[in-house]
């Protein structure tokens, strides 16, 4: 077994702006063989609890806080179809309360919470959003309504069923408009060929804060296998165009998802952070160049990005990618921007 790496810059404060907590064992067992790469990854970490998050975040890097990202976990069906999503936020708020006790030092897990609401409800999404805000007890920050879709069904596999063109849909946009009224942000998860939809949405709602997840998810799976280099310029052009929208910021991570195939084989504990940084550098550097160091933030996307290795190795790779940045830029990329965007500026250890 490969020995753990020494931690790079262990005193640098980190706010991890994108991780999950879940119990997806029933979901994983529901899919027969052969299973999609994403299902295989989730199957190896189908239970990811606060204890596991705590162990990961205390593995050497100075993680002072996190932002939880919706993942369809712990829904409450007794509330009805539209409102069942409130159960997830209630659960996560309990985890946040554990951390806020101070029992774990300066670490504040789930200091910000991003939940899910079905924005295709249009104007009827507002009561759902209000219920989510109430359940978050001051920690609810925004919504992610995943829009990932591809013409090749093998790309995303059975867990994802967003309709084509969701972000351009009129009814969806009526629901989307409710976010601004409540001061909420929107996390956009699409795959690379869909980046034009995010650009169109950002232009249509120039005052609405939008966070692009996972560098826009370049694809290296199924019909895209072996085509990362071929499609790089298309991806880069879309990123540069999206960066012109001042209401958009980008998360630097998610490149270890099996959709991207960086690394190609996983889950792994044997790929060193130097190799991960080498694979991810063209994407991360392009995003920082386009958005600037004040509109980008590193993310773990854990436990999905366990495909690339341990939590500690992942953050070592990010620190290698930021090695040429100034101290001020590093503080922004690793904590300050996440604190501002998700409004968790009062975390212990941030200043």
> How far apart (Å, rounded) are the C-alpha atoms in residues 324 and 329?
10
Is the distance from CB of 231 to CB of 192 less than 8 angstroms?
A: yes
* DSSP 8-state class, residue 144: E
Q: pTM score, two decimals? A: 0.96
With H, G, I as helix, E, B as strand and everything else as coil, classify residue 211.
Answer: strand
Is residue 11 classed exposed, middle or buried when 0-12, 13-18 and 19+ CB atoms within 10 A define those classes? exposed
What top-level class would CATH report for the domain 13-341? alpha beta
185-188 vs 210-212, strand pairing mode: parallel
- Give the pair of three-digit tokens for residue 131: 């219920």
> What's the chain's Rg over C-alpha atoms?
19
Q: What distance, in Å, lies between the first and last C-alpha atoms of the chain?
A: 38
CA atoms within a 13 Å half-sphere pointing along the CA-CB vector of 245: 26
> How far apart (Å, rounded) are the C-alpha atoms in residues 218 and 254?
10
> Could you read off the pLDDT tens digit of each residue along the chain, which spans 351 residues?
577 899 999 999 999 999 999 988 877 777 767 677 777 777 777 899 999 999 999 999 999 999 999 999 999 999 999 999 999 999 999 999 999 999 999 999 999 999 999 999 999 999 999 999 999 999 999 999 999 999 999 999 877 889 999 999 999 999 999 999 999 999 999 999 999 999 999 999 999 999 999 999 999 999 999 999 999 999 999 999 999 999 999 999 999 999 999 998 878 888 999 999 999 999 999 999 999 999 999 999 999 999 999 999 999 999 999 999 999 999 999 999 999 999 999 999 887
* DSSP 8-state class, residue 162: P
Tokens 């007890």 correspond to 137
- At 7 the pLDDT is 98
- At 34 the pLDDT is 67
Q: How many Cβ atoms sit within 10 Å of the Cβ of residue 279? A: 20
Q: Where are the domains of the chain?
A: 13-341
- At 341 the pLDDT is 98
* DSSP 8-state class, residue 184: -
Compute the CA torsion angle 57, 311, 140, 69 (nearest 10 deg).
-160
- At 160 the pLDDT is 82
């Amino acid at each position: 077994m490969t020995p753990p790496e020494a931690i790079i810059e262990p005193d640098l404060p980190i706010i991890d702006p994108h991780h999950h907590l879940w119990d997806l064992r029933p979901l994983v067992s529901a899919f027969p063989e052969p299973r999609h790469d994403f299902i295989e990854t989730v199957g190896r970490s189908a239970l990811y609890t606060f204890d596991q998050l705590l162990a990961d975040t205390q593995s050497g890097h100075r993680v002072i806080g996190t932002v939880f990202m919706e993942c369809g976990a712990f829904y409450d069906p007794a509330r009805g179809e539209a409102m069942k999503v409130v159960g997830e936020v209630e659960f996560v708020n309990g985890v946040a309360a554990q951390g806020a006790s101070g029992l774990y030092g300066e670490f504040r897990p789930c200091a910000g919470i991003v939940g899910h609401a079905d924005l295709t409800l249009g104007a009827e999404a507002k009561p759902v959003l209000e219920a989510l805000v109430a359940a978050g007890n001051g920690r609810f920050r925004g919504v992610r309504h995943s829009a990932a879709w591809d013409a090749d069904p093998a790309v995303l596999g059975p867990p994802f069923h967003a309709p084509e063109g969701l972000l351009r849909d009129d009814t969806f946009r009526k629901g989307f408009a409710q976010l601004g009224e409540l001061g909420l942000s929107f996390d956009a998860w699409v795959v690379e060929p869909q980046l034009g939809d995010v650009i169109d949405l950002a232009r249509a709602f120039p005052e609405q804060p939008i966070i692009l997840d996972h560098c826009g998810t370049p694809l290296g799976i199924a019909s895209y296998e072996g085509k990362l280099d071929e499609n790089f310029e298309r991806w880069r052009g879309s990123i540069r165009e999206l960066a012109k929208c001042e209401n958009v910021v980008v998360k630097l991570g998610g490149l270890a998802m099996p959709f991207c195939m960086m690394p190609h084989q996983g889950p792994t504990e044997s790929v060193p952070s130097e190799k991960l940084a080498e694979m991810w550098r063209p994407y991360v550097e392009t995003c920082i160049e386009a958005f600037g160091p004040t509109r980008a933030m590193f993310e773990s996307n854990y436990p999905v990005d366990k495909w690339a290795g341990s939590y500690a190795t992942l953050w070592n790779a990010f620190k290698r990618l930021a090695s040429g940045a100034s101290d001020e830029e590093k503080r922004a990329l690793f904590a300050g921007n996440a604190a501002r965007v998700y409004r968790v500026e009062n975390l212990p250890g941030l200043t």
